[in-house]
Amino acid sequence: CTKDLDRKPFYDVTSASVYTDFKNYKSVLAKCYGALALTGQGSGDGNPDIGGVDVGYIRGWWQMQELTTDEAVIAWNDNYLLPLHQSDWTSQNLLIGAMYNRIMLQIMYSNEFLRNTTDEKLAANGITGADVETTHEFRAEARFLRAFAYWHGIDMYGKMPFITENDPVGAFFPKQGSRTELFNYIESELKAIENELPEPRTNEYPRVDRAAAWMLLAKLYLNAAVYTGTARYTDAITYCTKIINAGYSLEPTYQNLFLADNNLRTNEIIFTIPADAVNMKTYNGTTYLVHAPVGGNMDVKTFGIDGGWYGLRTTRPVVEQFAGTYTTDSRALFHSSGQNIDITTISNFADGYPITKWKNVTSTGAPGSDPAKVFVDTDFPMFRLSDAYLMYAEAVLRGGTGGSAAQAIEYVNLVRTRAFKGNTAGNITAGQLTLDFMIQERGREFMWEGQRRTDLIRFKKFSGSAYMWPWKGNVKEGKSFEEYRDVFPVPLSDLVANPNLTQNTGYN
Amino acid sequence: ITGRVLDDVGLPVPGTTIAVEGTSIAASTDGNGYYIIKNISNGTYNLKAQFIGFATQTLSVTVNNAATIVNFSLKQSATSLDEVVIVGYGTLRKTDVTGSISTVTTKDFNKGSVTNPEQLIAGKVAGVQVLSSGGAPGASTRILIRGGASLNASNDPLFVIDGVPVDNNGIAGLANPLSTINQQDIESITIQKDASAAAIYGNRASNGVVIITTKKGASGGNVKAEFNTLQSLSNKIGIVDVLNAQEYKYALGEYVKSGKGNPASLAYIGNANTNWQDAIYQQAFKTDNTVSFSGGVKWLPYRLSVGYLDEDGILKTSNFNRISGALNINPKFFNNHLSVNINIKGTLTKSRFANNGAIGAAIAFNPTQPVYAPNVYDASQPTSATNYHLGGYFEWVDPNGTPVLLATKNPLSMLLQEINTSKANRSLGNLQLDYKFHFLPELHANLNLGYDISESDGRDAFYPTLASVYATKGQLSYYWQDKKNKLMDFYLNYAKDLSAIQSHIDVTAGYSYQDWLRNTPGMVIKTNTNPDVVANPSKTQNTMISYFGRVNYSFKDRYALTATMRADGSSRFSKDNRWGYFPSAAFAWSVNKEAFLENSTTVSDLKLRLGYGKTGQQDIVSNDYPYLAKYNQSATGSLYPFGDTWYTMLRPDAYDENIKWEETSQYNIGLDYGFANNRIYGSIDYFIKKTNDLISVVAPPAGSNFKNLLTTNVGNIEAKGIEFNINVNALKTKNFNWSFNFNATHYDNKVTNLTLTGVDDPVGVPISTSFTGESLQYNTVGYAPFTYYVKKQLYGEDGKPLEGQYADLDGDGKGGGEGDFYHYKSYYPDVLLGFTNNLTFKKATLSFTLRSNLGGYNYNSIAAGTGNGSALAFANFLGNASGSIRDTRFLTNQQYSDIYVEKASFLRIDNANLVYNFGKVSNNLTLALQANVQNVFLISGYSGLDPEITNNGIDVNVYPRPRIYSVGVNVGF
């Protein structure tokens, strides 16, 4: 009876059998995408992808990008959130560790799909004809998702373990890729798949097309001086132009981009992380972004949710970016009633203004699809057209060639006009287009969209004393912190587990 | 022939076998020690009384047309040649035992209100910790033998019931799988502590083996009926210290004055003075009744018992109900050459689980608010609630009348508006055939066919008026499970006295096949508003095939040598790692039989034991296929859209193709002693336990596997310990006897390696304790498992803690940062003590057990979470604070302060029992009465409710153990 010792699972599929059935391919690709939006395989964050602290990819990334800046404070005293406000995070921070693992997991999922869908493997598994062509498209998307994760990796951590589909799974020590090495890898990958991805706006929702790859390249080039020390503004202009000419248009009503039916805004949104209250029950991403800033005397009904979480607010300088245009700029989405604009106690929800940008109601005011109003339908727009406009202008301002100042002004004013609901009263002149204006304009346009830390670093306003905001460095009036904090530390747990890794300077 | 069997202190010895030598007639004594053998023809016979732990006594009797009374007085002994000890796959003569084995029999069991078999031996055996998870009816209990050998694999011992190793992995809808065994059916519990004793069970034996033997029928004699009934009343002993309404109002005022609190919160204060903990507890009644019949219908000895237990918990609505039946028949055929032993046990249980969250809610609920809300809805009065749609209970509601999402919910409503019920039925049994060869009677062939099946289903119903499901207008969920385990063992045993060379040999060799199948259809959750949610079903199977052997050789009944070997093949591991080999060897020297002590009246027993063995642990929590690369399919509610279609996601799961069992090497040196004709006897053991290739959850290098935490073989753990045990018959007079057992255990365990690289992680591997995954405890090299990882509190000159001020351990100039955590204590106690006393005065016997654990530490999670100002008031509702705030005066949460890691040493009396034994009250009737108190007292400096908890030292919302008063009657016919 020793053959009885060869027990096999009843429901789970083994890796050997997954790739013999083509219909599984889309389900594997769905995980490469889905791990950005969902935290596990079960409803309501059940059966999680990672252990220990885990708030999901989007929520974790958002918290690291926003809570470290002027844009957000949170009332909760989770042990891993406080150091983000206090600018004293260490390599033991559990959220910094979780996000690092989330990024590596995205890369592993893509690698696994790529490893098992080479032409040789397809032939061996009996996949032929149109299925092979479709698989090639899937592969390009998996490579995009891997490049996207590596981009977050070098943006936040600098160095990351460098693995591709040629590495094994199991007991081995990945080598560490430097920021420049990984920058070059991301660039080469995106260029390689640029023409394998479908034409802009032709793929099914919410899969990526070449505009998403261009956008990622543009962002990579705009930040190249930070990542590698070598500026690439001209390349940034090249790719912004490609996007701008791809047939997208600004959504006329700004707030519509952040509502429960924002899946309809494909005119402006280039790459979106979907949400659905019925089929994607999670506390990751927009469920958090809609609930966490609600509290005080805010009416939960207008947010389409069951109740507020009394967490997120913003600081005074973020509100003051709208000085003089507070009532005319449609992006000035604050709740001030019953709130103090200054923050005396971070843990007191009444201190600081919540931002009312994210809602689980549709553009017609109807609530989202969850009758219990626990989960939300609001997608997270990762890349938007207005970002391409503003990046173009910034790249021109920073000396990139291939564009023009006149074009830059025009693009900025397209964004401004939309913000002022079609009114040109907010338009700026050529003389007003400065780098100081650009960081403020980006603050207004992308408030609470997870861009702030990257932007402040590029404008040299994150560490150091060039820019102070309340509670920077854990003092009320703001205090500078060290420049090495422009990247997060390599988590201690991985430093110990992998002898090939070295820590980022300053964190030793 | 009738009579009574008493021990040397005058206590009855139930379950003693009285055999008529030269015949197959035998009987066994009842609960009061009486036996009766009927229909025996005239003549002279030798009657042999035999019971584990006693020297066998043989008395001659002549029967001549009349009832003859033969009373036995058995002496406790470790020296009798004929006495046998139950071991894996058979028995061994006590003199031949070389390992560390402890047996507790019926007469020494803890009496009183006992629902689980484990509770029978709490405090009785050195090196064995019985941990109760709380006072819920039928609550789970854990046995920890010698501190456990594993980190992430199960630390539970292997349970073997009548030769069938049972599945102890839990049954859905049943708090404790062993609660399906009626303790009245248990004859003895044998614990194999060291590797040389346990190694015959191979890769399941690292945490020791507990062998439970149930009562059997005896042939000869009439039907004997025994009725046991016990009625109990339970009361809560204390409540968690929180602020009362008056204190609360003062504290909130101070908090607002400090500037941290929001003055607006004062408006939410109510006029009531509610003790929420009084509101959720009740006095609870328990009844436990067993009827048993035993005897022999000619050649067919049998025992049948039926039990009925119904137990209410002190937390309102909790209930456990059990109907149990056990049948044993053990006929012999072919002139006693073929022994047949059939055991069938069946249990029907019904549970109603109270929502334990009510315990935490009662601690955190605001004392100024009432239990019930006025029966009106008034939008202008946001704090007077809408009992209109919340069932009449006070709840915190928004101005629009919906319950506040984050607010603590009314604990009484959580109990009375949730109905969580389950049914679990279990049957286990076996057919054992033992054939003594006609041509070679020293050779036995033994076949054991066993099964263990269970079926359970449960339903959790939440009323639409329950605040937590107000949005979905109620909720109903269903779950199911069935388990089928089967066993086939076959072994040959050869035992022979080789008197020519003054030797005795006993050889066993066998084969075992065991298979476990678990099927859990997906749980369904229904609400009145949302579509049904159906979880993915799960079905798993694992199989073990084993070969085992044992050789026991003794010379001059003085020197005994045992060697065992087991080969286990487990389906949980890949072909290359499937087979494990687990040898053991042990030696014993009965010093007292040497010439220089043989005639000593002082030293009656002296035996030195040396043992070594290797055991394994393959119980990998929650995964039967850890070596296989698998893809997991996502469930409804976790899908991904492409276009208009929703796709299940296929996730590659982490796996380790080389995973195998973990391996424990154990050395044991022991000494059994007995003085003054064993008026004083006991043993002392020293052991070293080293576990290698621990099945641990560790962080693999990021990018090397599909999860940040991987179950793999990494690390070593080491434990050293000493166990001491003494039994003293201290006082022995005509009317008064006093005997006691004292046992003490000390052990030290620490992690000695926990990484693949060999480079130690100074912090270690976190053990998640909170819902967001934050960790208070770490497994770290150089420390005990589950060591706390906290910040070092600084104190002012007045001895009061300074809020938010911690020692600057990393020297960065800032105390209390992420680098200022340190490893501090663990829940493992240094010393375990047990002290059982038996006092007999004439027919009355008083017994009680004192138990003490010294040196363990708990994390008082309730004080940490709520012992500060921020727990008093939230944005739109109020809470309450732990009484610890009176001392600390903390304004904000300081959950990582080491002030909350508290010494959990204690001394307690678990059990005090008084029996009055009337003996024979008429010709056919015996009677005994008992009165019992459980949880008599507790002395501890610990500030929480009870220092003894199972949750690895994290004290949170534990169902308190009640004080139980019981009275019982035992009647024999």
Q: What is the 3-state secondary structure (H, E, C) of B690-748?
A: EEECCEEEECCCCCCCCCCCEEEECCEEEEEEEEEEEEEEEEECCCEEEEEEEEEEEEE
* Helices A130-156 and A23-37, packing angle to 10 deg: 20
Q: Does residue B241 fall inside a structural domain?
A: no
Q: Does residue B895 fall inside a structural domain?
A: no
Q: Does residue B472 fall inside a structural domain?
A: yes
Q: Of the candidates B539, B642, B893, which has its C-beta nearest A204's C-beta?
A: B642
A130 CA: distance to closest CA in chain B (Å): 18
Q: Please name the residues between 391 and 420 in chain B that touch chain A, using a CB distance below 8 Å.
A: 398, 400, 402, 404-406
Q: Does residue B704 fall inside a structural domain?
A: yes
pTM here? 0.84
Q: How far apart are CA B78 and CA B604, in angstroms?
A: 9
Q: Let me know whether B598 and B541 are in one domain.
A: yes
Q: Please name the residues between 875 and 904 in chain B that touch chain A, using a CB distance below 8 Å.
A: 875-876, 892-893, 895-896
B882 CA: distance to closest CA in chain A (Å): 18
**Averaging pLDDT over each range in A220-229, B336-345, B371-380, which range is the top one?**
A220-229
Q: Of the candidates B529, B652, B772, which has its C-beta nearest A112's C-beta?
A: B652
Q: Let me know whether B70 and B166 are in one domain.
A: no
Q: Let me know whether B717 and B636 are in one domain.
A: yes
The reply to whether A42 touches chain B by the CB within 8 Å rule is: yes
Q: Let me know whether B130 and B34 are in one domain.
A: no
Residue of B nearest to A8 (CA): B625
B710 CA: distance to closest CA in chain A (Å): 9
More confident residue, B883 or B297: B883
Contact A170 B703 (CB under 8 A): no
The reply to whether B649 touches chain A by the CB within 8 Å rule is: yes
Q: How many residues are listed for chain A in this entry?
A: 508
Half-sphere exposure for B75 (CA within 13 Å, toward CB)? 15
Task: Give the per-residue pLDDT at B80.
Answer: 45
- DSSP for A122-170, please give it: HHHTT--THHHHHHHHHHHHHHHHHHHHHHHHHHHTSSEEE--TTS-SS
Residue with token string 């974790």 = A60
Q: Let me know whether B518 and B602 are in one domain.
A: yes
Task: Give the pLDDT band (50/70/90) at residue B507.
Answer: very high
More confident residue, A322 or B468: A322
Boundaries of domain holding B146? 117-217+282-357+416-786+826-856+904-972
Task: Give the per-residue pLDDT at B772.
Answer: 54
Q: Let me know whether B389 and B437 are in one domain.
A: no
Residue with token string 């092979």 = A132
Name the helix (H) or strand (E) containing A413: helix A405-419
Task: Give the pLDDT band (50/70/90) at residue B565.
Answer: very high
Residue with token string 């199972």 = B950
Whole-number mean pLDDT of chain A?
95
Contact B818 A6 (CB under 8 A): no
Task: Give the pLDDT band (50/70/90) at residue B641.
Answer: very high
Comparing A451-455, B52-56, B382-386, B421-425, the range with the smallest average pLDDT is B382-386
Assess whether pLDDT exceeds 60 at residue B387: no
Q: Please name the residues between 386 and 425 in chain A that touch chain B, using a CB distance below 8 Å.
A: none
Task: Give the per-residue pLDDT at B384.
Answer: 45
- What residues of chain A lie within 8 A of the CB of B896, using their CB? 79
Work out the burial of residue A373: count CB atoms within 10 Å of its CB; fewer than 13 is exposed, 13-18 middle, 19 or more buried: buried
Contact B702 A497 (CB under 8 A): yes
The reply to whether B478 touches chain A by the CB within 8 Å rule is: no
- Of the residues B76, B103, B131, which one is the last residue of a structural domain? B76
Task: Give the pLDDT band (50/70/90) at residue A213.
Answer: very high
Q: Let me know whether B665 and B732 are in one domain.
A: yes
Task: Give the pLDDT band (50/70/90) at residue B377.
Answer: low
Tens digits of residue pLDDT in A323-360? 999 999 999 999 999 999 999 989 889 999 999 999 99
Contact B814 A88 (CB under 8 A): yes
Instruction: Report the DSSP pairing between strands B662-675 and B906-922.
Output: unpaired
**Which tokens go with A116?**
């098992």
Comparing A240-249, B223-232, B759-768, the range with the smallest average pLDDT is B759-768
Comparing A204-213, B611-620, B809-818, the range with the smallest average pLDDT is B809-818
Average pLDDT over residues A157-176: 95
Tens digits of residue pLDDT in B656-685? 988 999 999 999 999 999 998 888 999 999
Instruction: Please list, in sequence order, all residues whose beta carbon lies within 8 angstroms of the beta carbon of residue B664, skipping any fewer than 6 positions away.
Output: B149, B195, B206, B614, B615, B616, B617, B689, B690, B691, B692
Comparing A50-59, B395-404, B405-414, the range with the smallest average pLDDT is B395-404
A449 CA: distance to closest CA in chain B (Å): 22
How many domains are there within chain B? 3
**DSSP single-letter state for residue B194:** S
Comparing A206-215, A452-461, B531-540, B929-938, the range with the smallest average pLDDT is B531-540
Average pLDDT over residues A175-183: 98
Comparing A421-435, B177-191, B308-322, the range with the smallest average pLDDT is B177-191
Average pLDDT over residues A400-420: 97
Contact A24 B641 (CB under 8 A): no
Q: Does residue B70 fall inside a structural domain?
A: yes
The reply to whether B574 touches chain A by the CB within 8 Å rule is: no
Contact B650 A308 (CB under 8 A): no
Q: For the CA atoms of chain A, what is the radius of gyration?
A: 23
The reply to whether B583 touches chain A by the CB within 8 Å rule is: no
Q: How far apart are CA B267 and CA B406, in angstroms?
A: 18
Q: Let me know whether B683 and B565 are in one domain.
A: yes
Assess whether pLDDT exceeds 90 at residue A452: yes
Q: Please name the residues between 295 and 324 in chain A that touch chain B, using a CB distance below 8 Å.
A: 295-296, 300-301, 306-310
Instruction: Report the DSSP pairing between strands B821-824 and B801-806.
Output: unpaired
**Which tokens go with B126?**
């050195």
Q: Please name the residues between 810 and 839 in chain B that touch chain A, using a CB distance below 8 Å.
A: 814, 817-819, 821
**DSSP single-letter state for residue A300:** G
Specify whether the CB–CB gap between A415 and A250 falls below 8 A. Answer: yes
Query: For A235, phi and psi rounded to 5 degrees?
Result: -65, -35
Contact A161 B515 (CB under 8 A): no
A255 CA: distance to closest CA in chain B (Å): 24
Residue of A nearest to B624 (CA): A9
- What residues of chain A lie within 8 A of the CB of B651, using their CB? 31, 35, 41, 49, 109
Question: Which domains, from first to last, does chain A contain?
Answer: 19-196 (1.25.40.390), 282-377 (no CATH)
Q: Does residue B308 fall inside a structural domain?
A: yes
Q: How far apart are CA B362 and CA B903, in angstroms?
A: 25
Q: How far apart are CA A392 and CA A400, in angstroms?
A: 9
Tens digits of residue pLDDT in B771-816? 455 788 998 999 998 999 999 999 999 999 999 999 999 888 888 8
Contact B637 A308 (CB under 8 A): no
Tens digits of residue pLDDT in B510-556? 999 999 999 999 889 888 887 788 888 889 999 999 999 999 999 98
Task: Give the per-residue pLDDT at A252.
Answer: 97
The reply to whether A280 touches chain B by the CB within 8 Å rule is: yes
Q: Let me know whether B947 and B830 are in one domain.
A: yes
Q: Let me know whether B634 and B773 are in one domain.
A: yes
B248 CA: distance to closest CA in chain A (Å): 20
B409 CA: distance to closest CA in chain A (Å): 14
A104 CA: distance to closest CA in chain B (Å): 5
- CB–CB contacts below 8 A, A to B: 327
Task: Give the per-residue pLDDT at B221.
Answer: 62
Residue of B nearest to A501 (CA): B701
Q: Please name the residues between 428 and 487 in chain A that touch chain B, using a CB distance below 8 Å.
A: none
More confident residue, B841 or B758: B841
Assess whether pLDDT exceeds 90 at residue A15: no
Q: Of the candidates B639, B760, B818, which has its C-beta nearest A92's C-beta?
A: B818
The reply to whether A337 touches chain B by the CB within 8 Å rule is: no
Assess whether pLDDT exceeds 50 at residue B879: yes
B262 CA: distance to closest CA in chain A (Å): 8
Assess whether pLDDT exceeds 80 at residue A464: yes
The reply to whether B235 touches chain A by the CB within 8 Å rule is: no
Task: Give the per-residue pLDDT at B122.
Answer: 84
Work out the burial of residue B646: count CB atoms within 10 Å of its CB; fewer than 13 is exposed, 13-18 middle, 19 or more buried: middle
Task: Give the per-residue pLDDT at B380.
Answer: 55
- Provide the b/e sequence for B102-115 (b: ≥16 CB within 10 Å): bbbbbbbbbbbbbb
Task: Give the per-residue pLDDT at A14.
Answer: 82
Comparing B156-165, B213-222, B271-280, the range with the smallest average pLDDT is B213-222
Contact A372 B651 (CB under 8 A): no
Q: Of the candidates A33, A41, A112, which has its C-beta nearest B634's C-beta?
A: A41
Q: Does residue B559 fall inside a structural domain?
A: yes
More confident residue, A498 or B402: A498
Task: Give the per-residue pLDDT at A77.
Answer: 78
Contact A50 B709 (CB under 8 A): yes
Name the helix (H) or strand (E) containing B186: strand B186-192
Task: Give the per-residue pLDDT at B376.
Answer: 53
Q: Does residue B476 fall inside a structural domain?
A: yes
- Of the residues B27, B53, B76, which one is the last residue of a structural domain? B76
CATH number at residue B126: 2.40.170.20
The reply to whether A506 touches chain B by the CB within 8 Å rule is: no
Q: Let me know whether B536 and B387 are in one domain.
A: no
Residue of B nearest to A23 (CA): B647
Q: Please name the residues between 194 and 213 in chain A that touch chain B, using a CB distance below 8 Å.
A: 204-207
Residue of A nearest to B536 (CA): A42
Q: Let me know whether B378 and B492 are in one domain.
A: no
Task: Give the pLDDT band (50/70/90) at residue A458.
Answer: very high
Tens digits of residue pLDDT in A262-310? 999 999 999 999 999 999 999 999 999 999 999 888 988 899 998 899 9
